[in-house]
Structure 1
Amino acid sequence: MDAHLPSHHQLLSQGPRLQLPPPSQRRELRELWGAKLEEVASALKVDPATMAAWEAGQCTADAAGTYAYLRLLNAFHDQLPTGHEPDWTVLRTPPTLPAAAAPTVPAQANPEHAAAKPVRRGASWTQDEKDYLRAAFLDGTAVPELAASLGRSEKSVRWTLYHLRLIPFPADDVPDPRPKAEKPKAYTVEDKRKTYPNAYAPWSGDDDQLLAERCAQGVPLEGLSREFGRNKGGIAARLKKINAVGPAADEAREYGGDDHSAAL
């Protein structure tokens, strides 16, 4: 015996060397057993996307996960009936889109045009479409191709994949909140002063005294508005503020002016 080779005692003490079968055999064993990828993922307590990566050989699990996966594959192999070989070509064919959900695209249309105008925009997703989407995505079909084949927008495909727990939250598809547009002012001071020259100008003590005198002399509210170059609401509010007496003051109380419009 070669001195460099370990004895059987040394081999046993090293523990099992975990070596999974090639990716193609992993899938063949699962499909021959009749198990869906999601069922295997649930049995191994991982999400379907991780399970798909394990099966395709795109990444490896830790030692515990690899051991559990290997035991499951060995169990599939040992318990399969002998003398039966499935039609692997049929099993590897992606599921066809149900006739009811198949998009109608003109022969001259190109994929970009079909993707730009989804024929099933806004329609509810059927269970057959979701099953097709799940299987095709796990089989490696890209989102643009899925959108074109289903007659959906890429955004709709991404959100449906998210709800099927196959991809992370599509944050890029969430629009930024739109800023509220400022409401334009109904008027400006300059516009008001074209009609009332003293609009928004502060009242002086002389102005208040003259206003009280003119009100006591019987000048009506309309006349005071023209004389002082302010609108009737501003005159009415000022008459009430200075406790003026006269017909215009009585009219002001009925007019409903308030202190907020006194500058007008």
Structure 2
Amino acid sequence: MDTPFPSQDHLLGRGPRPQLPPPAERRQRRELWGATLEEVASALNVKPKTMAAWEAGQHHADTADTYAYLCLLNAFRDQLPTAYEPDWSALRTPPVPSARPSTAPIPEQATGERPTAKPARRGAPWAQEEKDRARDAFLGGTTIEEIAESLERSEKSVRWVLYHLRLIPFPADDVPAPRAKPEKPKAYTVEEKRKIHPNAYAPWSADDERNLAERCAQGASLAELSQEFGRNPGGIASRLIKINADGPAVEEAYEYGGDVPGAAL
């Protein structure tokens, strides 16, 4: 009796199916290792913006890239001591009263309510003296909110400067999520297509592809293959080219335009 499950060789031939950890755990592993998002992006040969979306679970790559990312995340986890948590305060040098810079110190937070106002220097270029003040203040234990208030800058701007000074990880929360492109309405439905081609949009199995290659090699035409496999000619043409089939129908496939998207039909 036929079994609905694939054979061992067929199952192994499909390769591993990497499953990434949840987005929060991806970021936690990277930050515990001490790597910035930009460094991870460079290691995986992608753009930082793409890496930020990937880490947040908003980007999906092919199996090879996903496997490379998973290997890197697992290496971060496996090479860290159990329950390791960096002592961030130990990485900062406590301020020394006698070694304060000649520039005006950053004022302490005033008590009471303060009127909310937009930073006065929002959008203005950062001078080197401002970057030095932000760096010294951060290493001295001053919060990003206090640094932003003292320099009349936004907190987001301060975070980006501290990141470029390699003092904090990549501020992924400040990267806007990629906009979803509006989906164009389809001129037809799957049900309408399947009235003519019963297997339209159905996934191709390994057996389907093997049978298609055999029938093509036997000399079946594109129209005959379309009728036999219950798919439209465009889908047959694309699949013949994808599996490198051999036969007269392949020539028809190129003439039909099988090099355009449509391999799933």
| Superposition TM-score, scaled by structure 2 size | 0.39
**For the pair shown, which has the larger CA radius of gyration, 1 or 2?**
1
Higher relative contact order, structure no. (Cα contacts within 8 Å, ≥ 6 residues apart): 2
